[in-house]
Amino acid sequence: MANTDKQVSELIKREYEHGFVTEIEADTFEPGLNEDIIRRLSEIKGEPEFMLEWRLKAYRRWLEMDEPEWAHVHYPKIDYQALSYYSAPKKKEDMPQSLDEVDPELLRTYEKLGIPLHERAKLAGVAVDAVFDSVSVATTFKDKLAEAGVIFCPISEAVQKHPELIKKYLGSVVPQGDNYYAALNSAVFSDGSFVYIPKGVRCPLELSTYFRINAANTGQFERTLIVADAGSYVSYLEGCTAPMRDENQLHAAVVELVVLDDAQIKYSTVQNWYPGDENGKGGIYNFVTKRGACIGKNSKISWTQVETGSAITWKYPSCVLRGENSVGEFYSVALTHNYQQADTGTKMIHLGKNTKSTIISKGISAGRSSNAYRGLVKFGPGAEGARNFTQCDSLLIGDKCAAHTFPYIESQNKSAILEHEATTSKVSDEQMFLCRQRGIDPEQAVSMIVNGFCKEVFKELPMEFAVEAGKLLEVSLEGSVG
């Protein structure tokens, strides 16, 4: 088993390097970033004037900013002028023509994860126009959504079709100058999703399902904006349990959620990008800004994330709880292995009365990895009767890994109540003994124990993903025992 994992990683990596040496296609910009590049990018996308202005403003802010160094991660300095900021979707001739050409180990991994057959081809990057009947499925979904009045489209399309919504909400939660990576993203974002749920509508399906079939090649600077109007509800799943083939090393995405009165967004993420090989070479840098604003009364945002991929994860899904009685939730499992580094957590900013938040974070470090929880809970002076409960637990597997906790707590209101607790433990010998005594092999035993450790978070995931997430941990932990 241990061997398999290694081979998979190696093979994935080989593919990955290959992606870099491909000859530059006609539709790829030369490396470098300046105002002209942004103008060209905006022109290619056929964006209206206001969007270009918005991008340029972000770019100018970005130039004045310093790259953040406070995170507990180490990596060589990124040369932003050496990156190319636009690349047209890959040509079909360069992709594997059928599943037969795809590395069999990768396919075996899919099998272990229980990925439906018709999705495997898509995930492996096979060049097919329609994978089995997904087009018809997608069309059915589209009709259903249209009927409910839900807008769900690429953000570049939304810029043209719904400029009033974009003008109103884009950057309202994560302003252009929010942080270094958010500014970069605002300047050069390639595409992403836009969701608008009208008043009182309960989105008829989990956008996760739709997304998985329609996962477009959104590129490295993804921008997502979800607006839930009064009384609406939507569940959105981003990412995929399957290891994604990806050509870009730096990912700087921005996700903004806007929730109005009595509305609710449930945002789930499963991230399993290429983590680098067992020596820590290669892998994706995932520097993401995710933030939701509970603007309305009784609104709610729930973030659930399972992070097992990427060489470096830098990500703090946050909630700004402005509306009275609004609720923020954050459930996270972050697993790091080999030389992976994760610095992740959440921010809960309580501004309104009786706002409540819950943070459950489970960090698992194995191999030589480093896993940090970094969080902020803030009660503003107006957060009368606000409440927070935080629990962050770390599990260490092996004696070369590291687990850290950096919780920031700021309270300016006496009636706000906060409880924070954190523990660190390892898979105990007693637990292992018990399992082994009953004939369970060590690898399975660890996976059982780890699954139990993460249960609180998995139960928040949409059902089918909870099952996959469990399997994903199992696959990711292979080779960490014995």
Partner 1 sequence: MNPQATLSGAFLQSAGSTLPDALKTMRQQRATALADMPVPTRKTENWKYSSRHLQLDDSLAGTLVGGSSNTAFHNGDAYRVVIRNGQLDLDASELPDVSGVEVLAFRNLEDADAAQLAERLDNTLDSKAVQFARLNSARFEDGLLIRLAKNAVLDKPLFVFCENGGDKAGSAYPRIYVEAGQHSQLTLVEEYTSVGEAQALVNTVTEFSLADGANITSVRLTIEGQQTQHIGATAARLQANARFESHCVGFGGPLRRHDLRVCLEGKGAECKLNGVAVTQGQQHLDNHTVIEHVAPHCESEESYRNIAADKSHAVFNGRIHIHPDAQKSNANMSNKNLLLSTGAEIDTKPELEIYADDVKCAHGATVGQLDEESLFYLVSRGIDRKEAGTLLSMAFINELIEQIPVEPVRDAAHARLVRFIEQSFEGA
Q: Which residues are registered as beta bridge partners of 271?
A: 307
Environment class of residue 423 by beta-carbon count within 10 Å: exposed (0-12), middle (13-18) or buried (19+)?
A: exposed
Distance CA 457, CA 452 (A): 10
Minimum Å distance from CB 69 to partner 1? 10
Minimum Å distance from CB 23 to partner 1? 39
Residues that bind partner 1 (CB under 8 A): 64, 66, 70, 379, 381, 394, 396-426
Q: Which residue, 237 or 342, is less far from partner 1 as judged by CB?
A: 342
Q: Which residues are registered as beta bridge partners of 426?
A: 396
What's the sign of the alpha-carbon dihedral 240, 336, 286, 61? positive
Rounded-to-5 percentages of helix, strand, coil across the chain? 35, 30, 40
The one-letter amino acid at 442: P
Minimum Å distance from CB 399 to partner 1? 5
Minimum Å distance from CB 394 to partner 1? 7
Minimum Å distance from CB 468 to partner 1? 28
- Residue 106's region, left for phi above 0, alpha for psi from -120 to 50, else beta, is alpha
Minimum Å distance from CB 375 to partner 1? 10
Q: Which residue, 63 or 130, is less far from partner 1 as judged by CB?
A: 63
Q: Which residue, 176 or 298, is less far from partner 1 as judged by CB?
A: 176
Q: Which residue, 239 or 479, is less far from partner 1 as judged by CB?
A: 479
Q: Which residue, 291 or 368, is less far from partner 1 as judged by CB?
A: 368
Q: Which residue, 125 or 375, is less far from partner 1 as judged by CB?
A: 375
Q: Which residue, 32 or 381, is less far from partner 1 as judged by CB?
A: 381
Tell me if 248 sits within 8 A of 284, measured CB to CB.
Answer: yes
Environment class of residue 432 by beta-carbon count within 10 Å: exposed (0-12), middle (13-18) or buried (19+)?
A: middle
Minimum Å distance from CB 362 to partner 1? 14
Minimum Å distance from CB 384 to partner 1? 8
Minimum Å distance from CB 346 to partner 1? 15
Minimum Å distance from CB 377 to partner 1? 9
Query: Computed over its alpha carbons, how large is the radius of gyration of the chain?
Result: 22
CA atoms within 13 A on the CB side of 445: 19
- CA distances from residue 192 to 79, 158, 396 in whole angstroms, order as listed: 24, 10, 35
Minimum Å distance from CB 418 to partner 1? 4
What is the separation of C-alpha 460 from the centre of its chain, rounded to a whole number of angstroms? 16
What's the sign of the alpha-carbon dihedral 191, 178, 258, 168? negative
Q: Which residue, 75 or 408, is less far from partner 1 as judged by CB?
A: 408
Q: Which residue, 147 or 429, is less far from partner 1 as judged by CB?
A: 429
Range 443-449 contact pairs with CB under 8 angstroms and sequence separation of 24 or more = 443/1, 443/477, 443/478, 443/481, 443/482, 446/397, 446/477, 446/480, 446/481, 447/473, 447/474, 447/477
Q: Which residue, 32 or 68, is less far from partner 1 as judged by CB?
A: 68
Distance CA 383, CA 344 (A): 25
Residues 6+ apart with CB under 8 A from 47: 156, 159, 160
Minimum Å distance from CB 470 to partner 1? 23
Residues 6+ apart with CB under 8 A from 409: 376, 377, 378, 418, 420
Q: Which residue, 126 or 312, is less far from partner 1 as judged by CB?
A: 312
Distance CA 66, CA 60 (A): 13
Q: Which residue, 36 or 410, is less far from partner 1 as judged by CB?
A: 410
Q: Using CA atoms in the order 389, 459, 326, 393, what is the torsion angle rounded to 10 degrees? A: 20
Q: How many residues make up the chain in this entry?
A: 482
